[in-house]
Structure 1
Amino acid sequence: MSQLHEENQVLQVGIEEKLSFGANLTYGFQHLLALTGIFLFPVLIGQAMKLEAGTIGYMIQACFLTTGLVTILQSGKMLKLPVVQGPTAAFFVAVLSAGTSVGLGTAFGSMAVAGVIFMLLTIPIRKFGLIGHVNRFISPPIVYGTLLIIIGAQLANIGLKNWFGSANEGINFAAAGVTVICVLVLMIVGGNTLLRRGALLWGIVIGTVFYSIFGTANFSAVGSAGWFSLPSIFPFGFGVSIPVVILMLLAFLQASAEAVGMYTLLTKWGGQKMDSERVNRGLFGEFLGCTIGAVFGGLGTTSYPENIGIVRVSGIGSRYVTMTAGVMAIILGLIPKVGLFIASLPGPVLSAASTVLFGIIAVSGIQMVSKVVWDELNLVVAGSSFIISLGTMYLPTELTSKLPLAVQSIVTQPMLVGVVLLIGLNTVVNIWIRPVMEQRSGGVKTNTEVPTEVA
């Protein structure tokens, strides 16, 4: 059987097909299990900034609301694809960096401003949307694949060192070890079941049970939390910083590149057309939802490769399933007990789960760039971007200390430097210089990369 024919057989249930209510709930729940960023990123930000459990719990609620809103927009009239969106590492890094330097109010205020700017760049009216027309500059696998490797390497500094906590190091490390072992075992032997798709979540559950038995887990605050609450507008205050807006624009740019790759893959599986107008509609919906989410205090989102993998493995491509997942996420976001329960989970357990997640992010990037033909030009683009970006973590303190705090948060972040270098170098080298070199060599075309697949 040819590869093309196999690709056309990916979806057993088409994008526009409707399932029963029970099936929508079941398959929608599968997608929610893969949204690990909702459980991990807000807690890690809260731990780094020493926020109270109630504040962290609210941020988790806001992330559920943002996820649900964007997912409904994408599955509905905006994109009409089975896309599930969740908090992304790009915004996690950006909010963590800005929050520690200028405060969460300025971080989320600047994110909202950046979201409005990107919405204006993707107005889905005829040919007004700009981003859809510059897709080839931001979406090649060499760009967002290398960027994921950079992000994974940057985040390596967060996970492992927090396995031990500040007290009871033995119990903390043991609980972290149990969590990682459970996650790895479920990922290896879980097959195409809920055990593998929710491996990180199940690992957190088992690690928390272990910690509760041998340690001192405390969930007393959950009992006093309410069952329903509406989100607040700019709950951490409001501020705007131009350097932080730039930081958030770069995070949106990274999310755009990843999202467009997922859009293209889904339309190919579903036998649908993906033109610049549809790309603009999808990105406009994403930016609209993220902007509203930022107003409520939620992290920006992008299309999760894990959810695309669920679509491929299950063959269920109905956008009504992912729309159901979005509705479920919004419901969870309106229940304070859910957010506070997640915020009360043992820190070493969540750090252990995040370590695995960050490794998956890096290896996903490796999987993407494995499709690239590594000639000298592509080595220049990826190699220099990779090493310079990671090198920014080691800039001399006497140099960075002279810069404004908001500027420091940009130039010392590998992800942000990486997205600029990768897009810039790939544009110059592969889009401008390569065609000239091919003409001079007698019109012999050199392939730079082949389509990316999700395992």
Structure 2
Amino acid sequence: MTDASIGTPEQLRDPNYTPALHKAVPLGIQHVLAMFVSNVTPAIIIAGAAGFGFGSDAGAQGFPDMTYLIQMSMLFAGIATLFQTIGLGPVGARLPIVQGTSFAFIPIMIPLVAGKGVEALPALFGGVVIGGLFHTLIATFIGKIRFALPPLVTGLVVTMIGLALVKVGIQYAAGGVPAINKPEYGSLLNWSAALVVIFVTLGLKFYARGMLAVSAVVIGIIVGYFYAMTMGMVTLEGIATSWGRAAPIAFPMPFKFGFEISIAAVVGFCLMAFVSAVETVGDVSGITKGGAGREATDKEISGATYADGVGSAVAGIFGGFPNTSFSQNVGLIAMTGVMSRHVVTIGAVFLIICGLIPKVGAVIRTIPIEVLGGGVIVMFGMVVAAGISMLSDVNWNRRNMVIFAIALSVGLGLQLDPKAVQYLPDTLRILMTSGLLPAALIAIVLNLILPEELSDEATEEVSGGMQGHGEGSLNNK
């Protein structure tokens, strides 16, 4: 996408440099395309899990609620991005960091809302707001807690996030949870729409360059959308109806869904804030290394974490989900070589405009769930792959193997069979069946209490291709 005409090498490494507008605008839109589908997907998943999304019997009643959640995902991703690029006091790294709705919190949110409809949202957003405020507090001591979250822990958590969500992708591709007991669930027609998205995405990722490769998932879903239309899965009448129902412009409403304190929601969001904060540290380091060839400063790391927390808390007040830095845009900066934060600011403005126009959310809502399933399979599979990549930095001695084995077994096992803890109090049951939280807590605690110095036999590296390429210390970053 970039070339020498955009600026000199020194200018391209400067976050404060602004390319000419006719070059900065396409670069900003490129950042939006790289994260757009990932940003709105959590809203669609949570609406579906709650029961007013795809296939909901709520019909018109569920339409404005789901559209509003999509709208807020775009609006507050843009606002949180402005916190990062422009800054507000200690808030913001003043770097080209793109914020978006975090996948990490989805395994926490699904048990909180499952089948409960809009009535579950006040407690959910109460957790988002308080979790965001706690995330802001973490910014004051983020450097001091990194020792507790080495690659063994963070890699496990990211892998668990992906594993918790791959089932959603398969269910969507097959026709969605509401259709699970219907004859059409898992039909060849449903799968064909999902496979079109997957094949187009893979083709562009491997054989295209520049903007086409960056926006592969978006283009794949667009192609899948038109395929679904030719197969009768989308009607022009349905699109016109959705478009007609949506207002030309709408502003966010504070506490639209209400506000309620739920211990399960608050604990879940606060615990996940630690993981999200460490992810942001990694993204900030990746941006400064890939774009400017230097290490991130403490002020930049603290500011980025502040922006995560403030952005999430503000979003929660208006019906948005937790925001965090998006890793795919970190890779985009390394690819283009353009470090300008003002380029990302342009992308943020574009997101805000989309978020103020409900018709954009209304059109997104008409995407067949099978088409979205194809994109989700790719995205969530990449989350698992990212976790495994992080785990490759772990020194796989027997100590670390045991920590990983116990955490993964308990976390994934409880998620697969929630009835195993059906007699626990409701709050604890919801937290345990998320899978992610028990796995993370077990890994953190065992990593802190088990001695580094074990017998020679116990520290012997495991053979069979499991050895990582780290330098041997569990706490390598």
TM-score category by the smaller chain? 0.7 to 0.9
Matched, 1:380 2:402: yes
Give distance in 2, aligned partners of 1:75 and 1:308: 14
Instruction: Identify which of 359, 368, 380 aligns with 1:346.
Output: 368
Pairing 1:107–2:121 present: no
Post-superposition, which runs of at least 4 consecutive aligned residues in structure 1 deviate over 6 A? 435-438
Distance in 2, matches of 1:274 and 1:344, equals 42
Aligned partners of 1:404, 1:25: CA distance in 2, in Å?
A: 52
Query: Would you say how many aligned residue pairs link Structure 1 and Structure 2?
Result: 426
Post-superposition offset of 1:145? 1.8
Q: How far apart in 2 are the matches of 1:405 and 1:426?
A: 28
Match runs of 1:177-326 below 5 Å: 177-191=195-209, 193-217=210-234, 218-219=238-239, 220-269=241-290, 270-326=292-348
How many percent of aligned residue pairs carry the same amino acid? 27
Alignment check: 8 A CA contact 2:156 2:440 kept: no
| 8 Å Cα contact 1:114/1:245 also seen in 2 | yes
Paired position in structure 1 for 2:108: 94
Partner of 2:474: 448
Deviations 1:187-225 (A, max 9, x none): 12123x222211111111011101111123121211331
- Judge conservation of contact 1:373–1:449 (CA < 8 Å) in 2: no
- Between stretches 177-186 and 332-341, larger displacement belongs to 177-186
What SS class does the counterpart of residue 324 from structure 2 fall into? strand
Cα deviations by residue, 1:123-150 (Å, 9 ceiling, x for unpaired): xxxxxx1223223323x32222221111
CA contact (8 A) 2:161 2:436 kept: yes
Shift of 1:396: 6.0
**In the TM superposition, what are the counterparts of 1:21-60 in structure 2 within 5 Å?**
21-35=21-35, 36-51=37-52, 52-60=62-70
Deviates more, 1:383-392 or 1:245-254: 383-392
Change (3 A) 1:182 1:10: farther
Within the alignment, does 1:75 sit opposite 2:85 as a pair?
A: yes
Q: For residues 379-438 of structure 1, give each alpha carbon's deviation from its aligned partner in whole angstroms, at most 9, with x where no partner exists.
A: 2333322222111124462x5332343332210112222222233333334xxx337999
State the distance in 2 between where 1:211 and 1:66 align. 30
The gaps in structure 1 that reach 5 residues or longer are: 1-8, 123-128
1:186 deviates by 1.4
Q: C-alpha distance in 2, partners of 1:81/1:428?
A: 37
* Deviation for aligned residue 1:117: 2.5
**C-alpha distance in 1 between matches for 2:269 and 2:314:** 15
Relative contact order higher in (CA < 8 Å, ≥ 6 apart) = 1
CA distance in structure 2 between the aligned counterparts of 1:396 and 1:133, rounded to whole angstroms: 35
Match of residue 162, structure 1, among 146, 154, 172: 172
Deviations 1:47-95 (A, max 9, x none): 2222123211110111112211111111223211111111121122222
Amino acid at match of 1:408: R
2:296 counterpart SS class: coil
CA contact (8 A) 1:11 1:315 kept: no
User: Relative to 1, partners in 2 of residues 1:42 and 1:322: Cα closer, same or farther, differing over 3 Å?
Assistant: same
Which stretch has the larger CA shift, 32-41 or 315-324?
32-41
Give the CA deviation at 1:227.
2.0
How far apart are the structure 2 equivalents of 1:435 and 1:285? 39
Structure 2 unmatched ranges of 5 or more: 1-8, 53-61, 460-470
Which residue of 388, 395, 409 corresponds with 2:430? 409
Paired amino acid for 2:147: R
- C-alpha separation in 2, matches of 1:423 and 1:321: 38
Distance 1:161 1:50 in 2: 15
Q: 1:66 aligns with which of 76, 91, 94?
A: 76
**CA separation in 2, counterparts of 1:210 and 1:437?**
60
Say whether the 8 Å CA contact 1:255–1:301 is kept in structure 2.
Answer: no
Q: What is the identity, as a one-letter code, of the residue corresponding to 2:192?
A: A
What is residue 194 of structure 2 aligned with on the other side? 176
CA contact (8 A) 1:109 1:234 kept: no
